[in-house]
Structure 1
C-alpha cells in the first residue's frame, strides 16, 4: 500500500495538468496512475507518428462501439490514447476551444463559474501561443501552440478554394469570431508534438520527488470507507496493490473509462449494476449516460501530387528529402498533423453559430487509416458540432480489464442527419471550387452520389467518429448530474472527476484544449479547498 495526498487515475490531458498543478507545493504528495507507457518515444514525438498509432493498439485502447443502427449496423471504431499524455499523444494536435456560447450554455444549465468569461482565463493560463498575442491568448503557459511548419503548397490552394466557395477566411479560430476557413494551429513546439505529458509532466518530474508517476498501472476499482473514497486498487505487471489518498481521489480516465471505473466500483444506476452482479455502493443514475460525440463524414480523392501523403515511387525522393529536412530544421511533411486546414461554417446565414466543422487532411483517409491507399490524395471531413443524439457507456461486468460497452447512438436524433446533409453540401462546395477541383483526381467515396436520398445513404454507410466523446459524468445540479459544478461526485466524499466526461454538452470544436482548461480550473478549485 502506498499513500499520497492526491491520487489521480488516468494520465491523459487532464491528469497531466492536475499532476503538475497539485504537486507544485513540495509538501503535497501526488500519485499519477497511467495504464499505458510513460509518454516518450519517437512515435509520440514526431507528429506524423500518429499514423502508426491511430489504427492499431500502439499507445491506443482501440475500443469499438456496439452495432449502430444509424450507421447501418456497423461497429464504430473508438481510438483512445493509452500512454502518458492520453489522446493528446496520438491526436491531430488541433488547438480549438469551441464557441463562447457553448460555455455560456453550460452556465445557463446550472453550472456557475463555467461561462465563457469564467473559463477564458484558464485557456490563457494553459497556453503559450507563438504567434497570437491578444486578450484571447496566453503567453508563458505550459501548452505550446504554434503555426504549422509543413510549408505545404496546398495551403494556398485550399485558402483560395474556400474564398471561391464564399467562405470567410480566418487566421484564428479562437479569437473574437470562430467562423471561417483557415489553417489550424497545433500543439507543437519546434516541430515536435507537444502532448500534455511533454507540457505538464516531463519537464517537472525530475525536480519533484513529491510527484510519482505509475506507468503501466491499471486501475481496477475505487476503494471506499462508507461513502468516502479512500483510493484505488491497481494492477501493475501482474501485482495487485492499493494506492490510497489522504485528501482526494481524482478520476481522469476520459469519457469512456471514467464512467466504467465508477460503475465497476459500484457507483451508478442501481438497477443496471444489479444485472451485472456488481455490488451497489452509491446509486447515481447518470453515470455513463449523456454520451455525445462528433460524427464525421469523409470525402476522399486521389490527387497526382507528391506534396500530399502517399506511398508511390515518385513520392519516395521528396519523402527522403523531408527526412533530412526534419532532422535539420524540424520543418516539412514530418511535422504534419495531417488535418492541416479546415473551418467552422454556418449552414444558413441566419444561424447564430457555426454548426459544422471541416478538417482537410493531406492524405486519403479510409476507415481511420486502417485501409491504406498507396496513391497520393486528399480528404475532406465534415462533422456536426452539436449533435442531439445521446448515447451511453455501460459495463458487461465488474472487470476494468474488459472494454466498456459503448453505444453512442449516432444519428439517433433526426436533426443530426439533416445537419450532416447540410454539412455534406458545404464540403462538396469547397471541393468543387476551381482552385481545388482542377487538381483533384478520382472521387473515391461519393462518385455518382447526387440525390438527397443518395447523400443520406452514403452518410449512413460511411460516417465515423472524429474522436470527441464527452458528457458521461456530466456536471450539474439535477438528479441526473454525476458531479457538481466543482466536479465532486455527488453523494460521496473525497472523489472528483476531471476530464471530458464532465461536459454537460459537447463544445463546437476539438476537445483537447477544453479538457486542459477544465483541468486547470479544477486544480485551482481543489487547491482552494474544493469549492
Structure 2
C-alpha cells in the first residue's frame, strides 16, 4: 500500500490549491485524487467554453436536483466540475469575494480567525491582479484576475439606468463593500481561463513529492479508533487503498464531500443505519444546511440597442466572433457567464445589499439548452444573495458511485419568496421606468408586465429559474449541534480528517463563491502547515 503524508480527495477549486501549498515543502509527500479526467478538453480553456463543458458528461457530473415543491415541482440541471480544476474549469469565471460582513458573521458564530481582516490576506495571496497591487489586491499569486475584454453599449446603458435609482457605478466589487453596478472581473489570463488547475496545479505538477491520479473514484475513508487512516478508491475497475501518515483532506465540494463522509460512516446515525452503514461518528449536520443562489431570469426586449442574439445566431456573426478571439483575444468568446454585475438592496432600510444581478446581453428560453432569441433582448438575472431556505444532500446507497439526492427547497421560506418578488420588481423599475431605457422602448418578454401580485410573479419566474452553481454549507463550520467541522476545519470527533471546500461555509457569501472557496483552501493549507 502506498503511504502519503497528506491525501487530498478532489482536485477542484480547493483541492488544487491544497496540492500546491502542501507540496511546497519537499518533505511532505502529497497525493491528489480526482474522479474526473485531465483538463485537456479544449473548450475548458476558452472562457465562453462553459456552454460546451456544462451538461457535458466528459467534464460535468450532470447532477439534477430533486423536484422542488417551492418552484412548481421543477428539477434543475446541476453542473459540478468533473475534471482537474473541478468547477473552476467549467464555471462562469466571475471573481467576487462577497461583503466584509459575511466573514465577520462567520467569526461571530464562534469561528475564530474567519473575520474579514483574517481572510483578506488569503484573497490577496491567491491573486495576480491585472490592475496591480493595493491594500485589497495582490500580484504574483497563482490566480489571474482580469478585466473583461468586452464592452457593449447595452451594458453601459444598464449602468446609467441603475444610477438613476441610486445604485452607483463601481469598478471594484472586492473591497468588502460591493454595493454598486459595474463590469465583473474574471479569472482569465490573456483571454484564456485560469482555473485552479491552470493557476495552482500545472506549474507544480512535476514536483517529486506530489502524485496526481485521475479517473479515481473514492469509495470511502477507513478509520482506526476514530482516526482517519486510509482511502479506498476505484481506478480502472480495480479497488485500491492508500494510507495517510498525517491527514486526509476532503475537498470534493458541497455535493461530494458530504457524500464521502456519509458512505464512510460519518453523518446522521439513523439514516446511515437504514442504508447498512456502520456509524463511525454521529454528526447530524453532514449533508444538511445546503443553500445556493437561485437566479431568476426575466427577459427584456429592446429597440435601437443591440444585444448579442442576432450575432450569435448568424453564421457570419459567429465567424466574426471567432476571428476577433483568434487575432485579438477579445470579444464574446472571452466572456464570463455574465458581463455586468450589480449589488443593491431590496429595501432602502437595509444596511447592506441583499440582491445581485448578472446582466447578460443576450437571451434564450432555457439557459444552455436552446438557441438565442431572434430579436434583440437581454437577461438581467436577479438573485437573493442571503437566502434563508435550506436543503440537503442525502446518500441513497452505500456505493459512492450512485448519485446522492440533492434537495434544494429554493423558495421554501416566506422571506425568500418576498425577496424574489422584490428583486423582479426592482429590475422592472430600472428598465421600464428609467429615462435611460425609455428611448429604447423596452418590453418585458417574461415573466410579463401584467403580473404584479408577488406570489404570481415568483410562480411564473420559477419556470425559468436556474442555479448560479453556488452550493455551500453541507459540512458547515461552527460550534452548534449541526456543525461538522471546527474553526480549524477538522471533522468533529475524528482525528486526522478535515474538510476544506465550499461545504464548510456556515452561511453563503454575498455573491459568487469560487473566489471564497479558493481563499478557504489557502487558509486551510496554512492551518495544516502551522498545526
TM-score by length of 1: 0.95
* Shift in alpha-carbon separation, 1:492–1:365, aligned structure 2, 3 A: farther
Query: Corresponding residue for 1:115?
Result: 115
Determine if contact 1:52/1:58 at 8 Å carries over to the other structure: no
Determine if contact 1:389/1:416 at 8 Å carries over to the other structure: yes
Helix, strand or coil for the counterpart of 1:222?
strand
- Residue 478 of structure 1 and its aligned partner are, at CA, apart by 2.4
Query: Corresponding residue for 2:447?
Result: 446
Superposed, 1:74-113 pairs within 5 Å as 74-113=74-113
- Residue 301 of structure 1 and its aligned partner are, at CA, apart by 3.8
CA distance in 2, matches of 1:520, 1:163: 37
In the comparison of the two structures, how many residue pairs are matched?
528
- Residue 318 of structure 1 and its aligned partner are, at CA, apart by 3.4
- Residue 10 of structure 1 and its aligned partner are, at CA, apart by 0.5
Q: Deviations over 1:293-324 (max 9, x none)?
A: 11110012456789644466973323312322
TM-score by length of 2: 0.95
* Shift in alpha-carbon separation, 1:417–1:132, aligned structure 2, 3 A: farther
* Shift in alpha-carbon separation, 1:384–1:183, aligned structure 2, 3 A: same
CA distance in 1, matches of 2:303, 2:38: 40
Helix, strand or coil for the counterpart of 2:525?
helix
Q: Runs of 5+ in structure 1 lacking a partner? A: none
Query: Corresponding residue for 1:45?
Result: 45
Query: Corresponding residue for 1:425?
Result: 425
Q: Runs of 5+ in structure 2 lacking a partner? A: none
Helix, strand or coil for the counterpart of 1:462?
coil
Helix, strand or coil for the counterpart of 1:382?
strand
Helix, strand or coil for the counterpart of 2:220?
strand
Determine if contact 1:268/1:282 at 8 Å carries over to the other structure: yes
Given the alignment, which residue of 480, 483, 487 partners 1:481?
A: 483
1:300 and 2:299 are equivalent in the alignment:
yes
Determine if contact 2:298/2:461 at 8 Å carries over to the other structure: no
- Residue 440 of structure 1 and its aligned partner are, at CA, apart by 7.0
* Shift in alpha-carbon separation, 1:305–1:525, aligned structure 2, 3 A: farther
Helix, strand or coil for the counterpart of 2:327?
helix
CA distance in 1, matches of 2:287, 2:157: 44
Helix, strand or coil for the counterpart of 1:67?
coil
- Residue 176 of structure 1 and its aligned partner are, at CA, apart by 5.2
CA distance in 2, matches of 1:358, 1:210: 44
- Residue 99 of structure 1 and its aligned partner are, at CA, apart by 0.6
Helix, strand or coil for the counterpart of 1:13?
coil
CA distance in 1, matches of 2:38, 2:437: 42
* Shift in alpha-carbon separation, 1:348–1:17, aligned structure 2, 3 A: same
Superposed, 1:275-286 pairs within 5 Å as 275-286=274-285
Query: Corresponding residue for 1:416?
Result: 416
CA distance in 2, matches of 1:314, 1:389: 38
CA distance in 1, matches of 2:316, 2:462: 39
Q: Deviations over 1:408-455 (max 9, x none)?
A: 111111111111111111222233235446547764422344222431
Superposed, 1:342-353 pairs within 5 Å as 342-353=341-352
Helix, strand or coil for the counterpart of 2:67?
strand
* Shift in alpha-carbon separation, 1:250–1:307, aligned structure 2, 3 A: farther
Determine if contact 1:393/1:406 at 8 Å carries over to the other structure: yes
Q: Deviations over 1:18-65 (max 9, x none)?
A: 000000111211111111121233211101111112233241111112
Q: Aligned Cα RMSD in Å?
A: 1.9
1:287 and 2:286 are equivalent in the alignment:
yes
Determine if contact 2:71/2:459 at 8 Å carries over to the other structure: no
Query: Corresponding residue for 1:223?
Result: 222
Determine if contact 1:231/1:242 at 8 Å carries over to the other structure: yes
- Residue 231 of structure 1 and its aligned partner are, at CA, apart by 2.5
CA distance in 2, matches of 1:307, 1:24: 50
